[in-house]
Structure 1
Amino acid sequence: MPLSASPRTRLTVRWLLSWLAIALIALGSPSSADLFSNSFLVRFKRDLEPSEAHLVAERHGFVNMGPVLRSKSEYHFVNRALPPARSKRSITHTRKLKSDPLIHTAIQQPGFIRVKRGYKPLKVENLVKNIQPHQDPSDPYFPYQWYLKNTGQNGGKAKLDLNVEAAWAQGITGKNITTAIMDDGVDYMHPDLKYNYNAEASFDFSSNDPFPYPRYTDDWFNSHGTRCAGEVAAARDNGICGVGVAYDSKIAGIRMLDQPYMTDLIEANSMGHEPNLIDIYSASWGPTDDGKTVDGPRNATMRAIVKGVNEGRNGLGNIYVWASGDGGEDDDCNCDGYAASMWTVSINSAINDGQNAHYDESCSSTLASTFSNGAKDPNTGVATTDLYGKCTTTHSGTSAAAPEAAGVFALALEANNKLTWRDIQHLTVLTSKRNSLFDAKGRFHWTMNGVGLEFNHLFGFGVLDAGAMVALAKQWKTVPPRYHCEAGSVSELRQIPSKDSVMLSITTNACKGDSTEVRYLEHVQAVITLNSTRRGDVELFLTSPMGTRSMILSRRQNDDDSRDGFSKWPFMTTHTWGEYPQGTWTLEVKFNSETPQSGFFKEWSLMLHGTKDPPYTELPVLDPHSKLAIVKKAHEVRSKM
């Protein structure tokens, strides 16, 4: 069994999932304004084969859509006589199901909004040895793919790109790796995609059939998934459109986004679909980016993601890549429970001169960045495949950034097919580059954490470097087992003053001496409960024992909530990656408001996630100035203490 899936880790994951699911259900619970779908989660009193479940469904006027996460006791039923969305629960249909002697519970699924993330402006390190001379792809749109090779075209900054040619020159092009595009469908008949399409790993959860072809609309609204697919795996040198980051890899289509309202069951089955055939799941969508929504995955979806990272890829763990969000400076991606999850890799974007795009959200959970628009001309976006055999140069937003990252990860997995989901995150931290990335408004600067890793609140640890990631992946040794330490909690009702800060602290030994001891950090979560007269004016800062200050919540000017606040919401930071967690952690709670506000802080729990043993000890250092060398040296000093 792989280290990342040890029984102790699995037990801790189940415990962690239980309280996280409770928190998310509490925030996403139905209210008078919510809608209810015609889908039902049906739990049986015993395991049933699909044929038996089909008979039960038929007996009560339902259609059995199949098992939930391959369970034999939980099934997804739909009643076609009910409208897809209604304002009230159907008590009659729920009671009818519950009356069946085989059924334990039946839960009508709430409908909620999930939106595509795409901006619409108008409507090596020295690890790489023996690089061979590389000829540019001959595809007609390759000169427009500045994010693959930036020569300064369209006002860009030369060499500000993903450095994919350094990966291709090592003979790595994504062979035998499959990325699932969870979206509005994929035009799998597109001549630039059809030979790299993995039909066996594809499915349409909107229509419940194996053919995830996009639904036609006059405005080509459902082109989103096809554009994302081309970024990953468009074929090379075939005279059509451009080329994918991992042009010899496979893409699967999972159509699940094209419907008025999402349900937990559709999300869960999408994220748990064929986990041993799919390596990477790419998601360029999420809760509404309106600067006032606080939302995340529901119970079944969380179960699917946790199951994927623990059991997918035959135990190595699936990689979930998430677009960080397009809400701009008015939003904070730590309020998006998908992008802020430690199980996902959250990706932000930059434009071709190094600035952040104006729609980029910032948050401490972002791990790294790729690219979206051109600077001089907003219509110079990402060149990729489009519907009906067409090509486009206008794909953009963090929607465009996430598939680029998925392509880079596909290259890394071909270079080393033993990488775990955590190895991918470590490689991302160690090989991403500051390059020329900068905050156009000068708010967020590059900062060094306690072990010498440079990060930025907008860009995470920098822009992905495919050449460096592939080179390091080839010599990588799997990181030690991961543990989850509940480091302490503060349950103390404190008033948040209008013009001052509330300072709270937790001093921890990071579970020293226990089976869950953490000495080298990966993710850190501050699980917080508070409310205020205006939620959007609250700011939160977490400072580590090594002095790294993370803004875990920024002001959101559109958030007028005065009722719900945050209830056990897990704010996450990656900025303390590699640091030593023992000591005093400080949480600062304050208002950023021109008008007086008031509120109450209720509870804070500190969760530390990382390893007991130092990572990277078996890796040779080829570049003494690399991130690997800096962190490894710091850890060597620490291990002697």
Structure 2
Amino acid sequence: MPLSIVHTFVLVIFTLASFAKSDITSKEYAIKADSKNDVIDLCRHTGCTFIRQVTSVYFLVKCPAAKLRSKTGTNREMATMQHIAKKYNITKIEFQDKHKNYPRTQDSHWTSMWNLNNDVQPSMKVQEAWSKGRSGSGVVVAVVDDGVQLNHPDLRQNINPANSYDYYNSDQNPTPTSANDSHGTMVAGLVAAEANNDQCIVGIAHNCTILGVKILGDEGVTDSTEASALNHKLNGVDIYTNSWGPSDGFGHIGPGSVTESALYDGVTKGRNKKGVIYVWAAGNGGLRDNCNADGYVNSIFTIPITSVGVDGRAAYYAEVCAPVFAATYSGNKNKTLTSTSLASSCVDGLQGTSFSAPQAAGMIALAIETNPELTWRDVQHLIVETSKRHDLQDDFYHWQRNGAGFYVSQVLGFGLMDADALVERAKTWVKVPEQKLCSTSEFRVYSSTNYFSSSVRSRKLIQNGDACQISSLEHVEVLVSFSYTRRRGNVVLTLESPAGTKSFLLTPRPIDSIKFSGPGSRAWYYSSVHFWGEKIDGLWALTAKSDSPFTTEVTLKSWKLRFYGFNKESNKNDCAHKKSGIVTVLSVCITILSLVFYY
């Protein structure tokens, strides 16, 4: 036996012997490895228990651990695990701590369903889609939330109990046991409540199949549990609708590395490699918040959806949101929504982006029923091309017409979703070419605002080349590194494209200023869909501004761009690297990107 392995065994025996002298508990770790056998080998030699494979590259194990009495003990234990992991071809090991997410919510009732029955204009044209025979038949939607009442009389015919699951309590039944956990049942009704049964409401995709997936609870969940829920029955689910996320108003919080891996697996392996659709509620922080600080919402793998009220204005809780694709109707102070709830009831008073996202999921189900070959990116393109501006107002900034001719709002994305147009376009939709990703080098700035100048502007000329042939943009991500003297919520970031399209990546967040009142720094990937269809070539400008120059000084340290899109003319180039200027990171395939979030 090699000496290094002997030393490892000694270390393990010593560690476990130490545990035996104190209170024993078990701790869960997410293990990243190329091979399941390497993880099993690690477990066999360390006393750990292999639990399950979570994603294509992450595995969950449980190891004996002492009840730690100090922060120092935690660090020492983790260092021990990291040392052991190196001996078994393990690339990464992460302790699984719990974090908490929050619901996004502040037929007999058909007359109350103003969002669908054409009582208000503009219409989302769901009835028109129904008249063409669309009802979501054959499409499977997972409601990832705080549980779903499986035997609700307006849902039970469309729910598949055998394939539902409670990840929060690790059992087969996601039906809530607390009256407070009604959120998921409300969400499910808007997607799939049965039609013409004299019960409550009708869902947009009233013939689809629903899986209840419970993940929310008072004590929170680990990264690996969250990842498992987002890959639940991956080979049998088309759409995951998510009406939850981090707290509104403060922080820069995103998915952990295991959940990132799960999202990647979803869009690359799900639906026979066409990719599952992750619909996400954009958040309820209002104009005093910005959804770009939410790493679930600003992921290129998700479709964030926000809310419009009955008055045709962005709902009072809708956030400034450069990543948001579109809006659907939801409640406001004047008129609210109705849906199914616990105890087989039917309730009104619903408002929040929580209840916009499932309506979008229902419309997407109609499109997938129409054309099951749609990929995850096809669906994004369809939403961009069929959503309508109408006369909607967002109370933050004027509508812009971007360089590709799309009207876009800083709050409402490309406008109100249109189910009829979505279905019609899906009938003849031609699959978009493979996605390319081009990344620039880092642009170093190190320039600060002051009393006399409240903003810093950095401009860079970007040119397409042989190694990066994107002729039509999709998502644009910006890695921005900045520092601030105090009150981080006063920092404003905007990105302007060569076509003159302006995107607000970060806007004033008063609660964030309270929570982060002292000096600090931040490095974060912000994203935008406002440049959809535009070209890369030309001058790109990033502006960092202090909303209160006498209070907060902002230093823009550096920034870099990542462009996602495709080449309209050709899809022949393989992955290649340019020698200078812009670099092609990826051509005809997407590679999982390991992001580091600094809280």
Please tell me the TM-score bracket, short chain as reference. Answer: 0.7 to 0.9
> Does 1:419 pair with 2:374?
yes
Instruction: Give a deviation string over 1:158-188, Cα, whole Å, max 9, x none.
Output: 2333210011011111011011111111111
Instruction: State the Cα distance separating 1:53 from its structure 2 match.
Output: 9.5
The RMSD of aligned alpha carbons is 2.9
Unaligned residue ranges in structure 1 (runs of 5+): 1-35, 120-138, 152-157, 616-641
1:420 is matched by which residue type in structure 2?
Answer: T
| Paired position in structure 1 for 2:538 | 583
1:199 is matched by which residue type in structure 2?
Answer: P
| Paired position in structure 2 for 1:565 | 521
Give 1:427-576 correspondences, 5 Å limit: 427-439=382-394, 442-498=395-451, 499-510=453-464, 512-514=465-467, 516-533=468-485, 534-560=487-513, 561=516, 562-567=518-523, 569-576=524-531
3-state SS of paired residue (1:276): helix
Instruction: Give a deviation string over 1:507-537, Cα, whole Å, max 9, x none.
Output: 1113x101x4211111111111001023211
Which of 370, 394, 397 lines up with 2:352 in the alignment?
Answer: 397
Distance, in Å, in 2 between the alignment partners of 1:298 and 1:88 is 23
> Does 1:251 pair with 2:237?
no
Unaligned residue ranges in structure 2 (runs of 5+): 1-24, 571-599
Distance, in Å, in 2 between the alignment partners of 1:583 and 1:594 is 30
| Paired position in structure 2 for 1:77 | 62
1:507 is matched by which residue type in structure 2?
Answer: L
Instruction: Give a deviation string over 1:374-428, Cα, whole Å, max 9, x none.
Output: 452xxx4221110121111122211111111100100100010000001101100
3-state SS of paired residue (1:579): coil
Instruction: State the Cα distance separating 1:50 from its structure 2 match.
Output: 11
Distance, in Å, in 1 between the alignment partners of 2:191 and 2:71 is 40
Contact 1:115 1:288 (8 Å CA) reproduced = yes
| Paired position in structure 2 for 1:125 | none
3-state SS of paired residue (2:440): strand
1:41 is matched by which residue type in structure 2?
Answer: A
| Paired position in structure 2 for 1:303 | 261
The structure-2 alpha-carbon separation of the partners of 1:46 and 1:438, relative to structure 1 and needing over 3 Å to count, comes to closer
Which of 95, 98, 109 lines up with 1:111 in the alignment?
Answer: 98
2:369 is matched by which residue type in structure 1?
Answer: E
1:109 is matched by which residue type in structure 2?
Answer: Q
Contact 1:160 1:353 (8 Å CA) reproduced = no
Give 1:561-640 correspondences, 5 Å limit: 561=516, 562-567=518-523, 569-593=524-548, 595-613=550-568
Distance, in Å, in 2 between the alignment partners of 1:241 and 1:368 is 27
3-state SS of paired residue (1:443): coil
The structure-2 alpha-carbon separation of the partners of 1:253 and 1:93, relative to structure 1 and needing over 3 Å to count, comes to farther
Contact 1:201 1:277 (8 Å CA) reproduced = no
Q: How many residue pairs get matched?
A: 538
1:146 is matched by which residue type in structure 2?
Answer: W
Distance, in Å, in 2 between the alignment partners of 1:45 and 1:356 is 46
> Does 1:236 pair with 2:195?
yes
Distance, in Å, in 2 between the alignment partners of 1:418 and 1:45 is 30
| Paired position in structure 1 for 2:116 | 148
| Paired position in structure 2 for 1:385 | 340
| Paired position in structure 2 for 1:41 | 30
3-state SS of paired residue (2:259): helix
Contact 1:37 1:86 (8 Å CA) reproduced = no
The structure-2 alpha-carbon separation of the partners of 1:464 and 1:221, relative to structure 1 and needing over 3 Å to count, comes to same
Contact 1:97 1:103 (8 Å CA) reproduced = no
Give 1:240-319 correspondences, 5 Å limit: 240-289=199-248, 291-319=249-277
Instruction: State the Cα distance separating 1:109 from its structure 2 match.
Output: 1.6
| Paired position in structure 1 for 2:15 | none
Instruction: State the Cα distance separating 1:581 from its structure 2 match.
Output: 1.3
Distance, in Å, in 2 between the alignment partners of 1:214 and 1:55 is 38
Instruction: State the Cα distance separating 1:492 from its structure 2 match.
Output: 2.8
Instruction: Give a deviation string over 1:105-141, Cα, whole Å, max 9, x none.
Output: 753223323111111xxxxxxxxxxxxxxxxxxx101
3-state SS of paired residue (2:97): strand
The structure-2 alpha-carbon separation of the partners of 1:103 and 1:590, relative to structure 1 and needing over 3 Å to count, comes to closer
1:75 is matched by which residue type in structure 2?
Answer: L
Distance, in Å, in 2 between the alignment partners of 1:261 and 1:555 is 28
Instruction: State the Cα distance separating 1:327 from its structure 2 match.
Output: 0.9
Which of 129, 144, 152 lines up with 1:167 in the alignment?
Answer: 129
Contact 1:356 1:458 (8 Å CA) reproduced = yes
Contact 1:117 1:398 (8 Å CA) reproduced = yes
Distance, in Å, in 2 between the alignment partners of 1:142 and 1:80 is 56
Which of 378, 386, 409 lines up with 2:364 in the alignment?
Answer: 409
Contact 1:381 1:393 (8 Å CA) reproduced = yes
Instruction: Give a deviation string over 1:444-495, Cα, whole Å, max 9, x none.
Output: 2222111211111110000110011001100111111110011343123222
Instruction: State the Cα distance separating 1:96 from its structure 2 match.
Output: 8.4
Contact 1:519 1:582 (8 Å CA) reproduced = no
| Paired position in structure 2 for 1:619 | none
| Paired position in structure 2 for 1:625 | none
